[in-house]
A and B are shown apart, each in its own frame.
Chain A
């Protein structure tokens, strides 16, 4: 247990030491999105009755920040350790693969949550935000963060170079996030694209998370949480299987 706690501490210390890059910079990015999109679309779009566009946008941006940073933390830490070779310091001690997984995922969720809280705090003075069901906000933050953190562990282990990781991020994570309804309600899409959106697990994370603020969503939060939970369990099982086999970590 001490090994797990230390690895978790080390992973948190690692991102905290470069907080400008790992926490403040994502917050700034999200706030810029909010200012620009909010300003341009505020008077043209009303996604839900009684909810203005800027207020609608904030939960989407918070969740997008959570998801992207959960992925970035575990994946970048692992690939850096692999490329510099210092991953041996984690592989030599008596740390089980389950402890290894839990430490990387929890640290990533923690960073993601910090970033999300940062975006939320900066956004509060800019719009009129409600917290209709805070339990869902917390549940989707943790489950969505854990899902992306697991995906980050997979990507970090699989990638042999930064270029491959960037491809994973730019060709998978980014499109799935952007097309998940961060900036729009899927009811504004043609029927075909509404259907396609239901194959994107990121859509359920954002939609369920947004329900926590407005009490309104495109899909029932229970259904969304079910989809996200199943996706997480499947991904966690795959990740644990990779770690148990020592895939690309233990020759």
Chain B
């Protein structure tokens, strides 16, 4: 099957900044794919290159097998992009804007689908409202609606939940999940690592314009994160022996250890006691994407 997205050897330089330094990536059709990285890692430049908003210096990008430069019409028809910035056209109402956007993609009489999108995004009541009158969260959802008017098989969401409250965020993810279940390929960039962990089947991490990690979410968690044991002690202690090797971080008299199997917990607590520590509180933590992210970024 043709990959939904194929990126090969893409480089892009903005004056002295090497924004993309040779990115190779493939996203299969139907995937929920996460693109993570710190600010300035090149995520938005990569998405912009895919969407034709930026032109790479070298390399090729394809959407559903269509080259984004040579066969840009087919590539753009296959792609829906929710931009990071909260942009809107102040001259138009939500419905006008969605009709216009449909027309740009060659679609007339698109009101049935527009109504469905508005319903799912909880914007039906705002269809006639001018874009200026919408709250930040509504504008964000209107941007999602705009990206979907032409029913693209591939949808890229560049930090779609920035500034959206918890309830709306949940609703938005429910809708995006449904689109994914219906067969749409989703590519997501986000700074909310929990979201990426929960939603994405596979994740790529970018740093300084390079892919520094690419694997399934489960594999990344297994390889780069461990369970944690966080113990608060009556007084700070000095650790010795193998116990020190398990220590992830220290905050005053609170210690955080990493472990793989639960039967190690008893040994860790015994070790703390041996070093003279008296436990006053204890919390167990699951492996999470934050650990993976920090670990990979520090490695590279």
A residues apposed to B, CB below 8 Å? 1-3, 5-7, 9-10, 13-14, 17-18, 81, 84-86, 88-96, 246, 250-251
B100 near A6: Cβ-Cβ < 8 Å = yes
B89 near A6: Cβ-Cβ < 8 Å = no
B72 near A92: Cβ-Cβ < 8 Å = no
Q: What are 16 of the A-B contact pairs (CB < 8 Å)?
A: A1-B106, A2-B103, A2-B107, A10-B103, A81-B89, A84-B90, A85-B85, A85-B87, A86-B87, A89-B146, A94-B74, A94-B76, A94-B77, A250-B53, A251-B14, A251-B48
B residues apposed to A, CB below 8 Å? 14, 45, 48, 51-55, 72-74, 76-77, 79, 81, 83, 85, 87-92, 96, 100-108, 146, 150
Question: Which residues of chain A are near B74, meaning CB under 8 Å?
Answer: 94
B77 near A92: Cβ-Cβ < 8 Å = no
Question: Which residues of chain B are near A94, meaning CB under 8 Å?
Answer: 72-74, 76-77, 104-106
Cβ-defined partner of B104 (8 Å) among A6, A18, A85, A86: A6
What's the Cα separation between A18 and B130 when bound, in Å? 14
Q: Given A85-B85, A86-B87, A94-B77, do A6 and B54 touch, yes or no (CB 8 Å)? A: no
B105 near A86: Cβ-Cβ < 8 Å = no
What's the Cα separation between A13 and B102 when bound, in Å? 16
Identify the closest chain B residue to A17 (Cβ): B91
- Min Cβ gap A225→B in Å is 35
B104 near A93: Cβ-Cβ < 8 Å = yes
Of B74, B81, B101, B150, most buried by chain A (CB within 10 Å of CB) is B101
Question: Which residues of chain A are near B108, meaning CB under 8 Å?
Answer: 2
A251 near B54: Cβ-Cβ < 8 Å = yes
- Min Cβ gap A97→B in Å is 10
- Min Cβ gap A36→B in Å is 34
Question: Which residues of chain A are near B55, meaning CB under 8 Å?
Answer: 246, 250-251
Closest 8 CB pairs of A and B: A6-B103, A93-B104, A85-B87, A94-B73, A2-B106, A251-B54, A94-B76, A86-B89
Question: Which residues of chain B are near A246, meaning CB under 8 Å?
Answer: 55
- Min Cβ gap A2→B in Å is 4
Question: Which residues of chain B are near A91, meaning CB under 8 Å?
Answer: 52-53
What's the Cα separation between A2 and B92 when bound, in Å? 19
- Min Cβ gap B189→A in Å is 16
Of A1, A81, A88, most buried by chain B (CB within 10 Å of CB) is A88
Identify the closest chain B residue to A5 (Cβ): B103
A3 near B104: Cβ-Cβ < 8 Å = yes
B52 near A92: Cβ-Cβ < 8 Å = yes
**Known contacts A7-B104, A89-B146, A92-B81; can you find 6 more A-B pairs with CB under 8 A?**
A1-B106, A7-B103, A14-B91, A86-B87, A89-B89, A251-B45
B54 near A89: Cβ-Cβ < 8 Å = no
Cβ-defined partner of A13 (8 Å) among B83, B90, B91, B150: B91
